[in-house]
C-alpha cells in the first residue's frame, strides 16, 4: 500500500544549524509530495510541495526535492531559527486514492538559542 | 484573506454529552475534510465531503457524524463523546484538479476536552 516514513524525532538543534528531516515514501503511480508544518496549538500549514519527479519545492528557506529513483522527499534548511520549532509532516497524495493525504508520523523539531 | 475557520478553538464537554464542532471556509472549495489528531501524531482522516457526497473512512466510529448544509459550512457531531475522543479536530478543504484533489488547506483546529 501507499505509505510515508519519516525520521523519528525529536530533533534538537542549535540556532543556525543545518537541518535535514528524512522522508521516504511507497506509492503506486506518481504521487504529489508535501511538507506540512504544525506550530504548537495550531493547525497544519503547507510548507512546500512538489508534484512530479525532480521538482524542488521551496519556502521560507526550506527546500525538498522529489527524488523518484530513491522515493525520497527530504526536507532541508541551511540555517534554522528558534521560530522553526514545530512538528513537520511529510505527506503524499494521488488521484488513485481520491486525493487523500497519507501522512508520515511527524518529526518534532526543537531549536535552541 | 480567504481561509478556513474553526469554532470554537477550545471546547469542553462532558462524557456522553453530544457536541458539535463547526468549520467554515471562504475559499469556495468543494471538498471538505475532518481529521482527528492526538498528541502530535499524524492527523487521522474521519470523513470528507466532495460537494454533497459524503465519504466515510472505514474505521471511523459511528459515534462521529457530519453535516454539510452548504458549500461554506461543515459540522462534526460527536453523539456520545468518550474520554478517548479528546483530541484536536482539524478541518481542511481542497479544490480538485483534473485528476487529483491536490493540496489541502487546514483550519486552526478545535481542541476538544472530555470531562
Write the pLDDT tens digit of every residue in B72-96: 999 999 999 999 999 999 999 998 7
Q: How far is B102 from chain A (nearest CA, A)?
A: 6
Closest by Cα among A109, A77, A72, A68 to A90: A72
Q: What is the pLDDT, as a whole number, of residue A9?
A: 85
pLDDT tens digits for chain A (113 residues)?
Answer: 889 999 888 999 999 999 999 999 998 888 899 999 999 888 999 999 998 899 999 999 999 999 999 999 999 999 999 999 999 999 998 766 667 899 999 999 999 99
Contacts for B45-49: CB closer than 8 Å, 24+ residues apart: B45/A100, B45/A101, B46/B76, B48/A100, B49/B74
Q: What is the pLDDT, as a whole number, of residue A41?
A: 85
Chain A positions touching chain B (beta carbons under 8 Å):
32, 34, 36, 38, 41-46, 49, 87, 89, 93-95, 98-101, 103-106, 108
Q: What is the pLDDT, as a whole number, of residue B96?
A: 75
Q: Which residues of chain B have pLDDT under 50?
A: none
Give the alpha-carbon dihedral of A19, B101, A96, B65, to 10 degrees: 100
Q: Which residue of B has its CA nearest to A42?
A: B108
Amino acid at each position: 500500500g501507499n505509505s510515508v516514513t519519516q525520521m523519528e524525532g525529536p530533533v534538537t538543534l542549535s540556532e543556525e544549524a543545518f537541518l535535514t528531516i528524512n522522508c521516504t515514501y511507497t506509492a503506486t503511480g506518481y504521487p504529489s509530495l508535501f511538507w506540512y508544518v504544525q506550530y504548537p496549538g495550531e493547525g497544519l500549514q503547507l510548507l512546500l510541495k512538489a508534484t512530479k519527479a525532480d521538482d524542488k519545492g521551496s519556502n521560507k528557506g526550506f527546500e525538498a526535492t522529489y527524488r523518484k529513483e530513491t522515493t525520497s522527499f527530504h526536507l532541508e534548511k541551511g540555517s534554522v531559527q528558534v521560530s522553526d520549532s514545530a512538528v513537520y509532516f511529510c505527506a503524499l497524495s494521488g488521484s488513485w486514492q481520491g486525493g487523500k493525504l497519507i501522512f508520515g508520523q511527524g518529526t518534532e523539531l526543537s531549536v535552541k538559542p | 484573506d480567504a481561509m478556513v475557520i474553526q469554532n470554537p478553538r477550545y471546547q469542553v464537554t462532558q462524557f456522553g454529552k453530544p457536541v458539535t464542532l463547526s468549520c467554515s471556509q471562504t475559499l469556495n472549495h468543494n471538498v471538505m475534510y475532518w481529521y482527528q489528531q492526538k498528541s502530535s501524531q499524524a492527523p487521522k482522516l474521519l470523513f470528507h465531503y466532495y460537494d454533497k457526497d459524503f465519504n466515510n473512512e472505514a474505521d471511523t466510529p459511528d459515534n462521529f457524524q457530519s453535516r454539510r448544509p452548504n458549500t461554506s459550512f461543515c459540522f462534526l457531531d460527536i453523539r456520545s463523546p468518550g474520554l478517548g475522543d479528546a483530541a484536536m479536530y482539524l478541518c481542511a478543504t481542497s479544490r480538485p484538479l483534473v485528476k487529483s484533489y491536490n493540496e489541502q488547506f487546514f483550519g486552526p483546529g478545535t481542541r476538544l476536552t472530555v470531562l
